[in-house]
A and B are shown apart, each in its own frame.
Chain A
């Protein structure tokens, strides 16, 4: 079973109490990552270090490269140059098996992408059975406990088409969590949902923050960024413009470009 604490009722900031217990060793290191599509350079040398247990929120206008950066982290997109490390493993090394790395990096998609032909439970057991090699019974128990963790124990036998958008995305999160990843990537997890349904997804994410999960989140949800992030990175045109804790970027950004971005969002 999961060795993670199951406190989902805590407030967002609660975990700061044991912040000192965490090492300062970065879990994710991104070094000079470049990526181009044809003539267009979408990532122009990204350097970033994310500590274990931290929540990093990537923001920026569309086309700034934040989703591409996220997809490079688990090699759904291959970098052109540069290096990405997860702990001691170089993710981007040619002899690194991407399938092994991806088991340690969970991903939640904007389009949710639940396996349409499988029930909520089987969406979760598929990876446990075929990738982790668990027995049917072990996988089922694990799936049920993950569904309970996202508050969907009663929907285990529902098919994706029978679930609401928010429920689907919570199953998507449970599917990623079941693989017991070291870090979770969220690619605009609420962009396809209307505000009411976004909330239930954000609550689940807040719960993960409270549990101390390392998270990299691309989002336009400024409430989450403000309340859940340890660091916010603002990207524009494929480069990091500014990085800092939420209070600083929201209230007192150094760069004019950052200021304009956060002002434009406030007026939405």
Chain B
């Protein structure tokens, strides 16, 4: 197959991944605002989409981490990257169908590492860099966001006692929208970068760009637009889990959780840590839940989520390995992987239509939950 054609296929697949990344992660930024009723679902996703687009232009540090270091660009080909992307997309769709807020980023790294490992051997992967820039931040960042969110929540609840209840209710709703916006912006600086990094990597491996190059402008623009479109589509299934599955969320608490989430992601993006915004957002929500009430966290849901997190790297890695090996065998391999990828995606989409989760469902359930609170109080 013409190498240029393979690069085009990789670019298109990467943008499809970016799109799934967008709707998979809408929930991270907007779940708490939707759950507390601070924003209407459609307004929330539109706002988040625009800010993701803006965020994509703010920084390229994470893109550089992906394109320049995790795998050896001399040892892999665009076909291998294609296999890795298919692995990532498959895992993202399966977890989206299940409503699991797993990490799109880890799906991408898993797919890429699996594909490179099997198709080019273990030396194609720079494990030291993977450990330093991916694995360790993956564990540390959610803890940081969680601890800070817990402290912030304690401060907020202490200090707001003296405030008028009505003023503080409205005030924190506004604060929550502002902080959710920051999370969306932060998401653009970290997640849109990952697709940029992958496309840049494909261009480097095909010889179109020099090793170590920063992403070209058209790559930044197209990755930003793809993630914004995906975000606008809205991942209602995951919003559903994250908005009310973990812990009951009040506006003041959502504000504290999101401020710490956004800051942790922005600081990490700036240093080139390619972390999972999903994990950080979940860490922030958990931390603020603990800060408000030690018994207010649903550990069962948290356990299920954590299991999904652990599975993400290896699961996407295995699919990526198979797809990468096959795609790098030649034209028939690339076509075969593309066809199977498309069939599975369409299959999951058809399954999801049978039992759709729509924004209206989330709003209804939040209203029902508010009723319960009145009874309890």
- Whether both chains belong to one complex is answered with no
